[in-house]
Structure 1
Amino acid sequence: MTALSVNLNKIALMRNSRLSGIPSVTAAARVALEHGADGITVHPRPDLRHIRPDDVRELSEMLDVEFNIEGNPFEGAVGEYPGFLQLVREVKPDQCTLVPDSPDQLTSDHGWNLVEDGSRLEPIIAELKELGIRVSLFMDAETEDFGMAAKIGADRVELYTESYAGNYGGSDQQAVFELFADAAKRAGLAGLGVNAGHDLNLDNLGLLASIPNLEEVSIGHALVADALMIGLGPAVAAYKDILISASTGS
């Protein structure tokens, strides 16, 4: 069955708008796990707009499930931000998802071009794996670089699903779904595990989860938006129910 990793960035974004520490990122993690989440994802950025280094440290200490840290491995130290790799070295998460975003991006919006960046990523991947961390690369479904991702040492790829979400419910839905199913197949043939994430929600998750061998989805923005309407626990449970149904064909 596909695992659900809950991204807590938006919880931290709300918390950062006040000085009270509310809502608590660690408390949100506990609620998510109590309602079926299989793991927790965070994406710290140098501008500290949401998840902060201390959040990463506190989550690492409390979690006994998969902890996934996303980010750009080339981001260096800025003020309280120690640099992405330094933070990962410190907490040693279960999985590290490397993402090619720049500090001024609103959110991640494209996957790696490994022809350009593969040689720079290879020693970083080797170091992370030496620390016992599973490495996933954020990739576009259209890429021809899955073989290269495996060659430079990645364990998994995370398919960037914005185009799938954007076409869901439209005339191109089936064609785009087939593109992602084919991408997952090609990644698998290259020896890679497959994750997925970005703009997944209660409407579009079920179809994507029918892709064979999809190991994990990371969902944050839509899940937290749903939580505002129905509560965090029920929102997590609703997403988890979709994945269970997809695995059983019911």
Structure 2
Amino acid sequence: MSLERKSEREVDAIEISRWKAYRDFTAYSASEVISGALDGWLDGSTDSTMPSAPEPLGSGILSTDVKNLSHIERRGLISRVIGPRPVFLVGTCDSGGARNLAPMSSVNVLSNTPPLIAMSLSSDKGGRVRDTFRNIESGGIGAKVSIQALLGDRRSALDVEVAAQPHPGDVSEWDLVSGRLVETESGDVLSTAIATIHAEVVEIRNLPRNCKASLIIMEIDSVTLASEGNEGRHPRLIQISDGALSNDIGPSGWAHALDW
């Protein structure tokens, strides 16, 4: 069992207790469904009423005009509402073949057929145009992009923190993160990623309203996954607020503060 393996690896006792509680709660919930205890509620045959739903916006509401907020305030408010979002490390190459790796939380699915995704890119917090955008703009339509989905643990959070910092042009983030570069026929893979999307740029759009960001539209060529050794779905690294990372399943018990 997974918990037995955690014990053998001497995982923190508090973390194990959280997973035990999560496992027991999930098992209890499943037993309720299997036993039919909830059938009356689900098919409407019982006289009992479902518990009333909470109404957070039922009274005492407050609307905020986002145009009156500073950039930081606006970013924080929007991220609290439109989130959490998965965080990726996105790999690109410059015209000389030098590799770059940068964290992104703006990757979204546009279409499944054809398989189109999008990513918005702007300047960093210091006003510097991101290397990722420079590389894609230089490569133009057809530029290759690798999108590394990250495991939801502290190591991945630290990798994001390292990759988010500005580095000299002769330093590649691939050499600074905990994983290693794996070159495949499909494209670059980060060894510590739980999946990699290999995509090709099909359109670069300027956004309206004098926005500094550009929208990069890509078509997915392939997805790389581990061929064996998976034990169900892995927790993924997500941005849970404007300045914090954590994971998306089970009792995380941690959050990593990040000013990026």
TM range (shorter): under 0.3
Task: Tell me the TM-score normalised to structure 1 length.
Answer: 0.19
Q: Which has the larger radius of gyration?
A: 2
| TM-score, normalised relative to structure 2 | 0.19
Choose between structure 1 and 2: higher helix proportion. Answer: 1
